[in-house]
Amino acid sequence: AQSVTQLGSHVSVSEGALVLLRCNYSSSVPPYLFWYVQYPNQGLQLLLKYTTGATLVKGINGFEAEFKKSETSFHLTKPSAHMSDAAEYFCAVSPSNDYKLSFGAGTTVTVRA
C-alpha cells in the first residue's frame, strides 16, 4: 500500500520568493511520483513526474522536484514565485507495479504582491 503526506495545507509566499512544497510518501515497492496543479474549479494538470533515471526532475512553469529515496520525499520547488502560481498543488504516488494513484490532501499556495 502507498500513502502521501503533504506538509502544510496552506503556504503563503511573496512574489519573487522561493516556493517550497513538501511531499513525503510511503510505498512498499519503488514508487512513481507526480506533482499536479489545480486552478479554482478546474481539473488537474501535470507539473512533473519521476519514474526512473535522474532524481532531479524539471517540469513546466519553472518547477522542479527531487526524488530522495533515503528521505522518502519528493519536494517541489520554484526559485521565484509569480502571481500566476497561486493554485492548489497535489503530490501523488503509484507503485511501479500498479497504475493506481494515491493523492495527498493538497497544498494551497497564495502569492503576495
Binding residues for another protein (CB under 8 A): 4, 9, 32, 34, 36, 41-46, 49, 51, 90, 94-101, 103-106
Q: Which is nearer to another protein, 44 or 86 (CB)?
A: 44
Nearest approach, Cβ of 20 to another protein (angstroms)?
19
Q: Based on C-alpha coordinates, what's the Rg of the chain?
A: 13
Cα distance between residue 37 and residue 63, in whole Å: 11
Q: Which is nearer to another protein, 56 or 99 (CB)?
A: 99
Nearest approach, Cβ of 49 to another protein (angstroms)?
7
Cβ(109)–Cβ(88) under 8 Å? yes
